[in-house]
Homo-oligomer: A and B are copies of this chain.
């Protein structure tokens, strides 16, 4: 059959993909990222460095292997993230008693306050983002995602 000439299509949507939860989640996550990236940039942080700072503030003395496991990222990729946080004076690498291979990652006072401020800012931004939901749907979304993320 020879190549035919086609009349132009004037509508195109991704409606069929909306049947898939994963696709909807991708699009929503992308919207969230669009807000989050400039917010964290105001603290000179990226999403991944904010996450690392969170773990370090909540578990002072954690080492890089533990941190990589908690965040589900590669140890090798963590090196640069830790370097960033150190150069921002938000954390320090300290020697560990009894094992000279490890670094104990300790938040600085500035790291503790910066983390608190950034987390509050993200929380406020999420409140605004999810304000189109009913209070019940907002809570349900949080609960359901937490349940899925902690699946056995």
Note all chain B residues with C-beta closer than 8 A to A17. 51, 54-55
Q: Count residues of chain A with CB under 8 A from any CB of chain B.
A: 76
Chain A contact residues: over half helix, strand or loop, or mixed? helix
Number of copies: 2
Write the A109-124 contact mask toward B (1 if CB under 8 angstroms, else 0).
Answer: 0000000000100110
Task: Name the one of B55, B106, B123, B142 contacting A14, with C-beta atoms under 8 angstroms.
Answer: B55
Tell me whether A135 is interfacial, beta carbon within 8 Å.
Answer: no
With a CB–CB cut-off of 8 A, which chain B residues contact A137?
140, 144, 147
Q: How far is the CB of A14 from chain B (nearest CB, A)?
A: 5
Proximity bits, A96-136, B CB within 8 Å = 1, else 0: 11110010101000000000000100110010001011000
* A30 to B25 CA separation, bound complex (whole angstroms): 11
Closest to A10 in B: B66
* B148 adjacent to A6 (CB under 8 Å): no
Q: Which of B12, B21, B98, B145 contacts A24 (CB 8 A)?
A: B145
Q: From residue 23 to 37 of chain A, which have CB atoms closer than 8 A to chain B?
A: 23-33, 36
Q: Is A63 an interface residue (CB 8 A)?
A: yes
A41 within 8 Å of B (CB atoms): no
Chain B residues with CB under 8 Å of A119's CB are: 16, 19-20
Question: Residue A70 at the B interface, CB < 8 A?
Answer: yes
19 A-B interface contacts by CB (under 8 A): A5-B94, A5-B96, A6-B96, A6-B106, A8-B96, A8-B98, A9-B59, A12-B67, A13-B58, A13-B70, A16-B57, A16-B58, A16-B119, A18-B146, A19-B119, A21-B145, A24-B142, A25-B32, A137-B147
